[in-house]
């Protein structure tokens, strides 16, 4: 799960969480040129792929806190 | 600071915490508002002052944007606690937050920090399914309905509890005092011993009469984590969002809050979601940036690149959409079960879920 309010899914028991910087623009950054913004989006999705490949015992943030 | 009248009666100093919406400062566009102090009561604080009567005085109101509080919780708490301390507060009252998740979480977090770090009692109010109830406590929370229709009752209950705490009086059990169980157990002397109480309860149960259990069995709904997917390069991956990205014009009339259903839209052959064809109808955050580029919430463009690179096997042809704000828990559970069943049937091995 991608969430800018990651403490909420963490407290509710979501297993794999990727914290995001902005609630209004979850996987983006409007201050960046489009190519850079897309690059950042890809990086964030790769964090999610790492999460999906990683065994977890309970609610876990990627990267960890 | 507590003020003492000529007759010796006390008016305790109460600080009230509100989000930007309740304080009338703005809606989602003001959600990043840093904490600010306003002298005296604001908005529902006026009702709180009435409920406190001569027993308490709302000396000031702290207003903080929902996003600011949620995303910078340590920083926000530090500033808010300094306001409370400087005001010489005898108690903090936060909310009521009703069904608003970010607001409820902020209220619980601030109440807990106030109690722990300043040793000042605090009370808040929200719906029992508000995520703020899950914030580690113990926090004194008055249960409310989902909307502000319950405002007068919630404020009266918070005022009563705050004054009880200010006077240093012990609170009775949650059910008797009107707050959600905190998990704190206290020894009390009961009129019957355990065997007598158990027998009495059993007889009531057999007779079909109402009875009150002394220890409620917790109904914890923890989903075991799914096993890792170690062959993502071969796996079908689906995109699910509660961010409310729908075709322009919202042809299926998905609700912007308290969604009654989830929808699915074909993304077969799409390399991104253009602002000409899709929009964000989520009612819980400012959708301006998502409307400029819906890939910011549903990242089809980046997922296609990962698909081309062989980092995932394939992106599933359908995108699943709902809005998650103010969703009743039982409805969200139903959506989850339905989506999981469908995705399993379609052989999907992993999901990228974008929330808020």
What is the per-residue pLDDT across B249-266, written as a single tens digit (0 to 9) for each? 999 999 998 898 999 999
- Above 0.90 for ipTM, yes or no? yes
Q: Are residues B13 and B132 in the same domain?
A: yes
Query: At A63, is the pLDDT very low, low, confident or very high (cuts 50, 70, 90)?
Result: confident
User: Within an 8 Å CB–CB cutoff, is residue A55 touching chain B?
Assistant: yes
Query: Would you state the pLDDT for residue B287?
Result: 92
A&B contacts, CB < 8 Å? 127
Query: Would you state the pLDDT for residue B187?
Result: 80
In a domain, B153, yes or no: yes
Query: Would you state the pLDDT for residue B136?
Result: 74
Cross-chain residue pair A27–B299, CB shorter than 8 Å: yes
State yes or no: pLDDT of B5 exceeds 70.
Answer: no
Of A5, A15, A45, the CB nearest to B302: A45
Distance CA B38, CA B54 (A): 21
Which residues in chain A have Cβ-Cβ distances shorter than 8 Å to B304? none
Q: Are residues B241 and B158 in the same domain?
A: no
The tokens describing B215, both together, are: 């220890």
Among chain A residues, CA nearest to B222? A13
Q: Are residues B141 and B254 in the same domain?
A: no
Distance CA B238, CA B137 (A): 36
Which residues in chain B have Cβ-Cβ distances shorter than 8 Å to A41? 295-296, 299, 301-302
Of A5, A12, A44, the CB nearest to B134: A12
In a domain, B42, yes or no: yes
Give the domain extent around B17: 3-177
- How far, CA to CA in Å, does B14 sit from each of B40, B61, B166, B178, B310? 10, 9, 9, 20, 59
- Which of these ranges, A41-50, B189-198, B326-335, has the smallest mean pLDDT? B326-335
| Start-to-end CA span in chain A (Å) | 15
Mutate to test the interface with A, among B107, B285, B296 (most CBs of A within 10 A): B296
- Residue B184 burial (CB < 10 Å; 0-12/13-18/19+)? exposed
Query: Would you state the pLDDT for residue A12?
Result: 81
pLDDT digits (tens, 9 = 90+) for B204-222: 999 999 988 887 665 657 7
State yes or no: pLDDT of B177 exceeds 80.
Answer: yes
In a domain, B135, yes or no: yes
Q: In 10 A of CB B310, how many CB atoms?
A: 10
The CA dihedral of B249, B251, B253, B256, to the nearest 10 degrees, is -40
Residues 6+ apart with CB under 8 A from A45: A27, B299, B302, B303, B306, B352
State yes or no: pLDDT of A65 exceeds 60.
Answer: no
Q: Are residues B242 and B164 in the same domain?
A: no
Q: Are residues B243 and B113 in the same domain?
A: no
- How far, CA to CA in Å, does B76 sit from each of A19, B17, B24? 18, 12, 20
User: Within an 8 Å CB–CB cutoff, is residue A64 touching chain B?
Assistant: no
Q: What is the pTM (predicted TM-score) of this model? A: 0.66
Contact predicate B52/B44, CB 8 Å: no
State yes or no: pLDDT of B281 exceeds 80.
Answer: yes
The tokens describing A46, both together, are: 């790769």
| Total number of domains constituting chain B | 2
Distance CA B92, CA B120 (A): 7
Of B105, B136, B296, the CB nearest to A25: B296
Of B67, B134, B223, the CB nearest to A23: B67
3-state secondary structure of B84: helix
Which residues in chain B have Cβ-Cβ distances shorter than 8 Å to A45? 299, 302-303, 306, 352
Among chain A residues, CA nearest to B354? A2
Q: Are residues B168 and B260 in the same domain?
A: no
For chain A, list the strands marked E by DSSP: 2-3, 16-19, 60-61
Compute the average pLDDT of residues B229-240. 96
Q: B128: closest CA among B182, B65, B62?
A: B182
Write down which residue in B130, B161, B177 finishes a domain.
Answer: B177
State yes or no: pLDDT of B299 exceeds 80.
Answer: yes
- Look up the CATH number of the domain holding residue B9: 3.40.50.2300
Query: Would you state the pLDDT for residue B142?
Result: 96
pLDDT digits (tens, 9 = 90+) for B133-176: 888 778 899 999 988 888 999 999 999 999 999 999 988 888 88
For chain B, give the percent of residues with pLDDT over 70.
95
Of B134, B295, B350, the CB nearest to A11: B134
What is the C-alpha R_g of chain A?
12
DSSP per-residue letters across B196-256:
HHHHHHHHHHHTT-----SSPPP---PPPPPPP-S-GGG-EEEEEESB-EEETT-TT---S
Cross-chain residue pair B356–A28, CB shorter than 8 Å: no
Which residues does residue B317 pair with via DSSP β-bridges, in sequence order?
A: none
State yes or no: pLDDT of B346 exceeds 80.
Answer: yes
Cross-chain residue pair A24–B70, CB shorter than 8 Å: no
In a domain, B31, yes or no: yes
Query: Would you state the pLDDT for residue B207?
Result: 96
What's the number of CA atoms in the CB half-sphere (13 Å) around residue B319? 28
Write down which residue in B162, B177, B192 finishes a domain.
Answer: B177
Q: Are residues B162 and B32 in the same domain?
A: yes
Contact predicate B244/B254, CB 8 Å: yes
User: Within an 8 Å CB–CB cutoff, is residue A35 touching chain B?
Assistant: no
In a domain, B283, yes or no: yes
In a domain, B227, yes or no: no
State yes or no: pLDDT of B334 exceeds 80.
Answer: yes
State yes or no: pLDDT of B37 exceeds 90.
Answer: yes
CA distance, residue B66 to nearest chain A CA (Å): 10
Query: Would you state the pLDDT for residue B242?
Result: 95
User: Within an 8 Å CB–CB cutoff, is residue A52 touching chain B?
Assistant: yes
Cross-chain residue pair A58–B225, CB shorter than 8 Å: yes
CA distance, residue A11 to nearest chain B CA (Å): 6
Query: Would you state the pLDDT for residue A42?
Result: 96
The tokens describing B114, both together, are: 């106030």
Name the average pLDDT for chain B. 90
Q: Are residues B132 and B11 in the same domain?
A: yes
Compute the average pLDDT of residues B226-233. 94
Query: Would you state the pLDDT for residue B250?
Result: 96
The tokens describing B61, both together, are: 């109101």
Q: Are residues B44 and B170 in the same domain?
A: yes
Q: What ranges do the domains of chain A cover? A: 2-61
Give the pairing of strands A60-61 and A16-19: parallel
pLDDT digits (tens, 9 = 90+) for B80-136: 999 999 999 999 999 899 988 889 989 999 999 999 999 999 999 999 888 888 887
Which residues in chain B have Cβ-Cβ distances shorter than 8 Å to A28? 289, 293, 295-296
Query: At B267, is the pLDDT very low, low, confident or very high (cuts 50, 70, 90)?
Result: very high
């Amino acid at each position: 799960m991608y969430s800018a309010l990651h403490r909420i899914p963490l407290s509710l028991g979501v297993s794999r969480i990727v914290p995001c910087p902005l609630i209004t623009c979850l996987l983006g950054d409007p201050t960046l040129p489009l190519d850079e913004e897309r690059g950042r989006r890809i990086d964030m999705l790769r964090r999610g792929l790492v999460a999906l490949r990683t065994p977890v015992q309970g609610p876990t943030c990627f990267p960890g806190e | 600071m507590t003020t003492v009248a000529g007759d010796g009666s006390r008016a305790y100093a109460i600080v009230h915490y509100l989000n930007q919406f309740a304080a009338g400062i703005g809606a989602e566009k003001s959600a990043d508002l840093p904490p600010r102090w306003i002298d005296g009561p604001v908005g529902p604080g006026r009702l709180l002052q009435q409920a406190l009567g001569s027993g308490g005085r709302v000396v000031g109101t702290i207003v903080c944007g929902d996003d600011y509080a949620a995303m910078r919780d340590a920083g926000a708490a530090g500033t808010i606690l300094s306001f409370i301390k400087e005001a010489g507060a005898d108690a903090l009252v936060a909310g009521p937050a009703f069904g608003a998740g970010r607001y409820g979480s902020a209220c619980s977090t601030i109440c807990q920090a106030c109690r722990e770090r300043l040793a000042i009692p605090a009370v808040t109010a929200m719906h029992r399914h508000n995520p703020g109830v899950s914030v580690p406590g113990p926090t004194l929370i008055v249960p409310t309905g989902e909307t502000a229709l319950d405002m007068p009752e919630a404020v009266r209950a918070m005022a009563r509890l705050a004054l009880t705490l200010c006077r240093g009086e012990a609170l009775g059990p949650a059910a008797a005092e009107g707050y959600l169980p905190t998990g704190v157990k206290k020894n009390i002397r009961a009129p019957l011993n355990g065997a007598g109480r158990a027998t009495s309860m059993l007889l009531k149960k057999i007779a079909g009469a109402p009875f009150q259990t002394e220890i409620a069995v917790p109904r914890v709904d923890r989903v075991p984590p799914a096993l890792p997917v170690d062959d993502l390069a071969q796996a079908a991956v689906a995109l699910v969002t509660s961010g409310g990205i729908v075709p322009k014009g919202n042809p299926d009339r998905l609700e912007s809050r308290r969604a009654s259903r989830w929808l699915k839209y074909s993304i077969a052959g799409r390399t991104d979601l253009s602002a000409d064809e899709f929009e964000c109808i989520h009612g819980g955050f400012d959708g301006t940036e998502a409307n400029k580029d819906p890939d910011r919430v549903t990242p089809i463009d980046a997922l296609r690149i990962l698909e081309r690179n062989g980092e995932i096997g394939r992106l599933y042809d359908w995108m699943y959409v709902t809005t998650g704000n103010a969703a009743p828990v039982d409805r969200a559970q139903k959506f989850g079960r339905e989506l999981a069943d469908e995705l399993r049937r379609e052989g999907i091995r992993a999901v990228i879920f974008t929330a808020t």
